[in-house]
Structure 1
Amino acid sequence: LALRYSLPDWLADHFSRELGPDADAFCAHLNVPGPITLRVNPLRSSREELAERLRSEGVSTLPGPWSPLALHIDGPRPNLYALPSLQEGRFEVQDEGSQLLGLLLEALPGETVVDLCAGAGGKTLQFGAAMRDSGRLFAHDPDPERLDRLLQRSSRAGLTRVQVLRTPPTPGLGADRVLVDAPCSELGSLRRGPDQRFRITPDVLARFPPLQFDILQRGADLVRPGGRLVYATCTVNRAENEDVVSAFLAARPDYRLTRPGAGWLSDACVRDGFLFVAPHSHGTDAFFAAVLERSAG
């Protein structure tokens, strides 16, 4: 496996343990460039309207099979940042699997929503559109430059309610929904940077779970009774995924695991009660997510 797909031995062994008979197909897809995927901004356009607009700008697209917001670029990579439709905030570039993470929160207009590890805010913008630019939307990240970029992007997207938090939110916020898109080993996006597989070392597999557990606990303290907490990573590593969720549920009996995307998410995207998508099976980067509901009592 390592020789066939140009992987370090330890990483090929890891994927074999994690994925079993699917490891070969998964590793093969790490050497194939991922698609360029757009997420429509429903405050500006429908998916069909955006596809037509892009066609008029010389860009051909195909609808994504998993996210109702996704369009895949069909053909050579265009200069997206020169397109008027991007400058008008009609879309963002976002992997279809990442879009699914945002959809799992099922944010609604008027709610209080927190994106606890917001980064540059792709999913924050997704929540703002789902909330129809209403309610309270908080975004926190330890990197201030990323938060600055989020403010610029939210203005372009027509969002006025995004509140950037430079320090972590206070427990007891009473949020309806919280996303913890946790820092991780990022093994699910290795096809995006072909040399990254040679930059990481085996210790990356054990580096993140204590931090992930801590952030998940902090996220849980922000959720009101009856609210929703989504834990997500972009990695393929049980220690960072299922094991973190199991440890959390053991420590927090006020939370229970529920099926992701009940009523709309394809069974093909669900594995053992969690969201799991991957390049060889879904055409996305690899993502994991758990949907956790807090008891109402």
Structure 2
Amino acid sequence: MTPGARVQAAIEVLDIVLSGVAAERALTTWGRSSRYAGSKDRAAVRDHVFDALRRLRTGAWAGGIAHMPKECDARAVMAGVLLGQGADLGALFSGQGHAPAPLEEVSPPDGTLSRAAQLDISDWLLEIFERDLGENADPVLTALRDRAPVFLRANTARISRDALQTVLADEGVETVLDDTAPTALRLTGPARGLTNLPSFQDGLWELQDAGSQALVARLPDMEGARVLDLCAGGGGKALAMAARGAASVFAHDVDAARMRDIPMRSARADVEITQLSTPEDVAPFDAVVVDVPCSGSGSWRRAPDAKWRLTQGRLTELTVLQDEILRRAIALVRPGGWIGYMTCSVLACENAEIADRVVASDPDITLEDRWSCLPTAGGCDGFHLSVLRHG
């Protein structure tokens, strides 16, 4: 595919996303119907789509659209974002070789761009960010407009972080140690083809954000413990807990299909993770980690369409669900055990407010530790951890 053809494909995918389809689903559907597209083509189209979603409001403005994202024209948004990147719009929008048709003059509309639009966030969400993050609101929202770095987690049950860095360098992959977590390495070069490396196939590392790694590192000692990852998903935290010396690691997710990669990942890491359909059957556990469904506001760089799909009603629904899941986790822990309540959100209503409300309602539960991190330019995603003790 030519650069212009990639842009045209990205415009078509973005148009589908703006109609309400999740970005990953739209990209997957396009990839399956576009067999002519090679891996580099698919990666380039994905980058164009995600760049546009991260900067949807400023892109729309630069492309000549003054109204809200749901009314945006994908072609104008893409032109505006590419213009901001310094691209040659005449070359990309040439109408030749499946490229988009030539553009008329691209210029912002008259008037002043609102502060929320400048930060590429919905008006109602800007108010929440300012309330919850104060002076950090602008730096966080600015960071969320760019691509996230790629982090690796050293499987310290098999190799030290320093030794892994040397192995990766021998494989042509340059990294730096990241202070966010003792297991984290940050890539300083291209991220394509990483999972084809022998070091990955040998189970020496996993892809995992440094903030997510830090959450597990912050958890209480679990040497010899029976631990449950209650909202396991793909099992990233379960794998990290196994590397920390847990005697038995169990995984559960209400959507069992999300755990389909756990057997392959655990075999590669040479650890055992037992999947459970009903964790109550083998409770109590010494510890339960619960990474609850949330807005994902701390990781919108990686899933930027979620920023535009979130509504006030959906946020309220999530907080109700988070409260219910945390209370279920408490019921699964033995007296004296602990619960790690986690989110990839930076919003107080999903984080401390949930944990504090549960603690206030149950005299047997106490808050033992709390930690959070914010998305920063070139740094980790945003996460929250509250460690609760049962009895």
Percent of matched pairs sharing the same residue: 40
Contact 2:344 2:384 in 1 (8 A): yes
Residue aligned with 1:44, SS: coil
Tell me if 1:72 matches 2:186.
yes
Tell me if 1:61 matches 2:175.
yes
| Residue-by-residue CA offset, 1:189-226 (whole Å, 9 max, x unaligned) | 11113333222222232111221111111111121222
- 1:25 alignment partner in structure 2: 139
Contact 1:43 1:129 in 2 (8 A): yes
2 CA distance for matches of 1:12 and 1:109? Answer: 42
- 1:263 alignment partner in structure 2: none
Contact 1:43 1:158 in 2 (8 A): no
Deviates more, 1:10-19 or 1:284-293: 10-19
2 CA distance for matches of 1:110 and 1:234? Answer: 27
Tell me if 1:159 matches 2:255.
no
Contact 1:88 1:156 in 2 (8 A): yes
Contact 2:295 2:306 in 1 (8 A): no
TM-score where L is the length of structure 1 = 0.88
Are the structure 2 counterparts of residues 217 and 281 from structure 1 closer, same or farther at C-alpha, using a change threshold of 3 Å? Answer: farther
Deviates more, 1:36-45 or 1:10-19: 10-19
Are the structure 2 counterparts of residues 194 and 184 from structure 1 closer, same or farther at C-alpha, using a change threshold of 3 Å? Answer: closer
Are the structure 2 counterparts of residues 64 and 216 from structure 1 closer, same or farther at C-alpha, using a change threshold of 3 Å? Answer: same
Tell me if 1:234 matches 2:318.
no
2 CA distance for matches of 1:155 and 1:56? Answer: 24
Residue aligned with 1:178, SS: strand
Amino acid at match of 2:251: A
- 2:354 alignment partner in structure 1: 244
Higher strand share: 1
Choose which of 127, 140, 147 in structure 1 pairs with 2:252.
Answer: 140
Amino acid at match of 1:167: T
Choose which of 232, 236, 257 in structure 2 pairs with 1:118.
Answer: 232
Higher helix share: 2
Deviates more, 1:58-67 or 1:223-232: 223-232
Residue aligned with 2:185, SS: strand
Can you give the 5+ residue segments of structure 2 that lack an aligned partner in the other structure? 1-114
Are the structure 2 counterparts of residues 181 and 278 from structure 1 closer, same or farther at C-alpha, using a change threshold of 3 Å? Answer: same
Quote how far apart the aligned CAs of 1:55 are: 0.2
- 1:130 alignment partner in structure 2: 244
Contact 2:120 2:141 in 1 (8 A): no
Amino acid at match of 1:195: D
Quote how far apart the aligned CAs of 1:13 are: 2.0
Amino acid at match of 2:169: R
2 CA distance for matches of 1:211 and 1:170? Answer: 22
Are the structure 2 counterparts of residues 110 and 217 from structure 1 closer, same or farther at C-alpha, using a change threshold of 3 Å? Answer: same
Choose which of 16, 34, 54 in structure 1 pairs with 2:130.
Answer: 16
Contact 1:182 1:215 in 2 (8 A): yes
Please provide the CA RMSD for this pair. 1.7
Contact 1:105 1:228 in 2 (8 A): no
2 CA distance for matches of 1:101 and 1:204? Answer: 25
Tell me if 1:88 matches 2:184.
no
| Residue-by-residue CA offset, 1:232-277 (whole Å, 9 max, x unaligned) | 1111222211221122112221111123xxxxxxxxxxxxxx2110
Contact 2:148 2:378 in 1 (8 A): no
Residue aligned with 2:200, SS: helix
Are the structure 2 counterparts of residues 120 and 23 from structure 1 closer, same or farther at C-alpha, using a change threshold of 3 Å? Answer: same
Contact 2:231 2:290 in 1 (8 A): yes
Choose which of 305, 330, 334 in structure 2 pairs with 1:195.
Answer: 305
Choose which of 361, 365, 372 in structure 2 pairs with 1:255.
Answer: 365
1 CA distance for matches of 2:280 and 2:269? Answer: 24
- 1:221 alignment partner in structure 2: 331
Residue aligned with 2:321, SS: helix
Query: Is the radius of gyration larger for structure 1 or structure 2?
Result: 2
Choose which of 256, 261, 286 in structure 1 pairs with 2:382.
Answer: 286
Amino acid at match of 2:249: L
Quote how far apart the aligned CAs of 1:107 are: 4.5
Quote how far apart the aligned CAs of 1:157 are: 0.5
Are the structure 2 counterparts of residues 32 and 198 from structure 1 closer, same or farther at C-alpha, using a change threshold of 3 Å? Answer: same
Higher relative contact order (CA 8 A, sep 6+): 1
Can you give the 5+ residue segments of structure 1 that lack an aligned partner in the other structure? 260-273
Contact 2:296 2:306 in 1 (8 A): no
| Residue-by-residue CA offset, 1:114-168 (whole Å, 9 max, x unaligned) | 111111000000111111xx622111011222222111100110013x1101234
Quote how far apart the aligned CAs of 1:227 are: 1.3
* Number of matched pairs: 277
Contact 1:137 1:163 in 2 (8 A): yes
TM-score where L is the length of structure 2 = 0.68
